[in-house]
Every structure is written in C-alpha cells, then in structure tokens.
Amino acid sequence: MRRFFKPLRVILALGCFVLVNAAFLAPMIAASLCAEDAPQTVCAAAWQLWPAIVALNLPVVLAILAVTALMGRVYCSTLCPLGVYQDVWFRIRRLFTKRGIPFSPPMNRVRYWVFALTVLAAFAGCFALPALVEPYSVYGRFVTNLVRPALQWAINLLAAWCDAHEKYWVMSDEVVVAGFLSFWVAAASAMALAALAAIKGRWFCNAVCPVGTLLSIVAKRPLMRISIDASRCVKCGACAHVCKAACIDVKNATIDDSRCVRCFNCIGACRKGAVRL
Ligand code: SF4
Ligand code: SF4
Ligand code: SF4
C-alpha cells in the first residue's frame, strides 16, 4: 500500500500542473487553432489557497486547511504549481549529483516575518509584496511573461510554415511581451527559484512562501504523520538523502511535519521499513 503513495502523488501533481497551465494558455492556443470558442478550462485559481483567501472562498479555504490538518502539506506536493516547478529543478539536480540536502533547523523567524508582512501588506491594500512571494502569482507571472510569448512565437513559426505549404491549420498572432519590469521580475524569479530548488530543494517553501507558512502551522501535528521507528532505524541516512525539505533529523530519528511537503520519497528509500505513515 505504502508504495502507491508516491506514484499517486506524482500523477495528481502532474494533472494539477497541466490544468493550471491550461488555464493560462488554452485561450491563446484556441485562437491560434481558429477555434470559435476558447475551451472551458477549470478555473485553476479557484483551488489555489491564496486566491481563495483573497476571494473569501471559504469552502475551498476550509477544505484545504482540513486536508492539511488530516494529512499534512499534501497541497504543497500536488496542487501548487510552484511546488511542481521546484520539484522539476530538484530532479534535474539529481541527474548531476547524488548528494542530498543536509537536515537544517526550521527558519521560523524568517518565515513568520515574511508571513506577517505579507498579510499586513494585503490588509493595507498593497498587493506588491504578496504578488512577489505568493506562489500562484509568482507562477502565473512565469507563464504569462515567459511561457506565453515563447509559445506564441513557436506557433507563429508553425503558422508561417503552414502558409508556405498552403495549409491553413494555424493562425499567427502578435507576440505580446509584458512591460520591461514585469518581464525581468518574472525572469529573475524563475532563475532564482530554479537555482534555489536545485541547490536547497524546497527552501523557498519553508523559509519564504506565506502559503507554506500558513500550512505549516496547520500541519504541525497532522492526523496522518510520517515518523521514524527508532527501534528499526539503523541511521543509514537514506531517507534524509532523498528529502527535498531537509526536514529529517536522522540523529534524533524525527521528522518535522510542519516542513514535510509529503513527497513520500523517504518511505520508498528506507530499506528497513523504519519510515512509517
Ligand atoms: S510552500 Fe508555497 S510554493 Fe511551496 S508548494 Fe507550498 S504553496 Fe507552493
Ligand atoms: S532510511 Fe530508514 S534506516 Fe536509514 S536512517 Fe532513514 S529511517 Fe533510518
Ligand atoms: S520527510 Fe522529506 S522525503 Fe519524507 S515525505 Fe516529507 S518532504 Fe518528502
């Protein structure tokens, strides 16, 4: 049973990631394919925590918090597109080095300060700070400013080829590039987050992200915990080696649930069956 958790988690995460990207890109693709109506995409923002809080969408907020209280931060391993983005870079890291990310203590002071400032800024009506650190805005900026123009440019190349061969399957359109500042904020944060994820795994999630901080408070002692059975553990470190959240303290045989992003890597890595759900 335990071995199904990780594949299930990966399938869910990829499905949500595709839906979020489809919500951003489907209208543009539909227009290029001369579709009369853009396809209806699930409103991806509706089940993202920060947009749901801002929209006072209580059923979604309560559902996410309830699932987190029951199962820990599964939101961070399945629903959040920025989490998947970081996981992609963490995986790329593993192609080059087999070294893990050593356990580190929680950076509570930093994350609570960022959380408090973000909430205060939002209450004060200043949305610049939330937009810089809130995961859905950050990811949306990547897609809108970087992916969408690149995709439109590729579509235009294809349209030119179709025209040359008298096939009118695809229509070209203007490549819309956002303003100078928007573009460079998106490019700089995409590169910084990629580098951070490749070097330090989910560091952003556990030190900066205000949504992660809120979830970490709720996930401190979830009903479904991941723990180490000290009587079975031989302290080989294999579980910590694959942990992207650096939250497994092998020496003391403990796992920090508030930072665990429920990737389930550690369960499969332990050959002694000491990591338990
Ligand atoms: S901590 Fe924030 S950025 Fe990381 S996965 Fe969770 S919601 Fe997304
Ligand atoms: S992989 Fe298993 S045996 Fe090795 S340190 Fe982790 S819990 Fe202990
Ligand atoms: S303890 Fe680490 S490896 Fe295990 S599920 Fe949590 S984040 Fe993943």
What pLDDT is attached to residue 146?
Answer: 93
Q: Specify the pLDDT at position 261.
A: 97
Query: For position 1, what pLDDT does the model report?
Result: 67
Q: Which residue has the tokens 């995460």?
A: 13
Q: What pLDDT, on the 0 to 100 scale, is given for residue 98? A: 84
Task: For the chain, give the number of residues.
Answer: 277
Nearest to 69 by CA among 276, 264, 257: 257
What is the predicted pLDDT for the residue at 42? 54
Listed as ranges, residues in the chain with pLDDT below 50 are none
| pLDDT at position 35 | 60
Residue 165 alpha carbon to ligand 1 centre in Å: 46
pLDDT, tens digit, for every residue of 186-209?
999 999 999 999 999 999 999 999
Determine if ligand 3 sits within 6 Å of the CB of residue 243. Answer: yes
Mutate to test the pocket of ligand 2, among 272, 276, 277 (most ligand atoms within 8 A of CB): 272
Q: Which of 86, 263, 275, 277 to mutate to test the pocket of ligand 3 (most atoms within 8 A of CB)?
A: 263
Cα distances (angstroms) measured from residue 174 to each of 32, 45, 53, 149, 153: 11, 26, 35, 9, 8
Give which of 52, 13, 57, 22 is closest to 40, Cα–Cα: 22
CB atoms inside a 10 Å sphere around CB 219: 28
Domain locations in the chain as residue ranges: 2-101+108-219
Q: pLDDT tens for residues 165-185?
A: 877 778 888 888 778 888 999
Task: Report the nearest-CA residue for atom 3 of ligand 3.
Answer: 243
Residue 36's pLDDT is what? 57
Structure-token pair, residue 240: 């910590």
Cα 244 to Cα 261: distance, rounded to the nearest angstrom = 8
* Cβ proximity of 266 and 2 under 8 Å: no
**Measured distance CA(18)–CA(244) in Å, rounded:** 22
Residues 216, 111 contacting (CB under 8 angstroms) = yes
